[in-house]
Amino acid sequence: MCGRMALTLPPAAMAHIFEAAPANTLPEGPNYNVCPTNDVAVITGGPNQPRRMEAMRWGLIPPWYKKPNDGPLLINARAETVLEKPAFRDAVHERRVLVVANGFYEWTKDADGGRDPWYITRCDGSPLAFAALWQSWRNPANGEEMRTVAALTVGANAPMQAIHHRMPVVIEQPDWALWLGEDGKGAAPLMRAAADDVLQWHRVGRAVNSNRAEGPELIEPWEPSEAETPDSSA
């Protein structure tokens, strides 16, 4: 699962890491609480195509939707069934991208049912590259076109299962070109859980439970001695 993330590096710095040309439409950073339907930073590429970093709406909209909320909000796609689902089966062959972030959030529940957030990053400190699929959607009402994206998820590796039973597909740097279609075919084996030593996490305060929260304090480690804010999941 991946339902919230953080992008803390400036767009130009992130684009440099991925050797991509940044588009002018990238959201201003940093954003410590990127939520579904927000714009996310996406790396695109392909055979004989320059690698670019651009903004896409997080939440894939299938072409048959008449409006963005015509059906479920498709922020994630299960890797195990992506070839079967009409919303994703063409995109997994033709429109693979990387969603980039510095970290993401997951939640556990305490004894009283309160939601405790955890901030998850790479152990080596480098940015995360999530396997993702994109779809262009045209609004029938005004003809405006929107690029939308969903991140792929798989069953969690052993350490991650302590927090959640699923996790986003993390693509390692040597495999970026293959996933983007720059190195030909054969990307399917990349849809797997990360190795056990790739990710680390720490508990953060419940302020991030609100999709209106913002600021670098959201990713700071929470200490048990600190007063916990009431659980608000708005």
* E strand or H helix at 179: helix 176-180
Check residue 193 and report its DSSP letter.
P
Q: Is 35 a catalytic residue?
A: no
178-184 contact pairs (CB < 8 A, 24+):
179/96, 179/98, 179/131, 180/43, 180/44, 180/45, 180/46, 180/51, 180/96, 180/97, 180/98, 181/45, 181/46, 181/47, 181/96, 182/45, 182/46, 182/47, 182/49, 182/51, 184/47
Q: Is 106 a catalytic residue?
A: yes
Check residue 49 and report its DSSP letter.
E
**Which of 80, 106, 182, 220 does the annotation list as catalytic?**
106
Phi-psi region of 207 (alpha: psi -120 to 50; beta: other; left: phi over 0): alpha
**Any idea which residues carry the catalytic annotation?**
2, 106
